[in-house]
Amino acid sequence: MVGKVKRPRLHRVAPRARPDPPPPPPPDLGTGSWNAAAAEGWDFSSSGIFSGLKIDPDTLVKKLDLDCRSIISSRTDLEAKNVLSKKEKMKLRRERWLQKIESVKLAKQKQQAEAKRKATPVVGDMQPLMEALPELSELTTGGRGRKPPRSHVKAKAEPTDFCLMKQAQKCQLL
């Protein structure tokens, strides 16, 4: 046996069926129907939450529709397979990828903005309050239809130097 290599088996041996052991003989109950020795292993002192619950077996039966059995079969029945070219498939794949990237970026920006708002001292995150309250423009347009009164705002600043003033301004000053 020197120099021979033992090769692994190609097929495994089929498992043999074992003969069923004979059923144990029923315990002799004797004259009474209750046997203390047989009842020792029983534990009726469980305080489980479902201990007093009785469930009707008919309620546990569930019947499936033909359409509900397989998702693949329902998809093929509803829509015919669209034959797409390789370019179109690549475009669709790229669009899905870009959408995924955009959604990740948007979620990251929202998270950063929320963290920034929460880091604001004393006030905290005011965004939920800002969203709940109406805007000032909505309140002003809903009330009256007229414009708010103008305060007397001068268009130009008056020159302080007397020689730079116009004749009308000089008259007003004097």
**Each residue's pLDDT tens digit, 3-35:** 888 888 888 888 888 777 767 766 655 555 556
Q: Which runs of consecutive H residues, i.e. helices, occur in the chain?
A: 66-69, 71-78, 86-118, 127-132, 136-143, 167-173
- Grade residue 112 by pLDDT with cuts at 50, 70 and 90: very high
99 lies in a domain?
A: yes
Q: Are 126 and 117 in contact (CB under 8 A)?
A: yes
121 lies in a domain?
A: yes
Output the pLDDT for position 102.
95
3 lies in a domain?
A: no
**108, 111, 114: which is closest to 127 by C-alpha?**
114
Q: Please, which residues have CB within 8 angstroms of residue 158's CB and are 6 or more apart in sequence?
A: 165, 169
47 lies in a domain?
A: no
5 lies in a domain?
A: no
Output the pLDDT for position 104.
95
The domain containing residue 114 runs over which residues? 86-130
54 lies in a domain?
A: no
**Number of structural domains found in the chain:** 1
27 lies in a domain?
A: no
31 lies in a domain?
A: no
Token pair 């021979």: residue: 4
> Chain-centre distance of CA 90, in angstroms?
28
pLDDT digits (tens, 9 = 90+) for 113-123: 999 888 876 66
Q: Are 127 and 116 in contact (CB under 8 A)?
A: no
Share of the chain above pLDDT 90, in %: 17
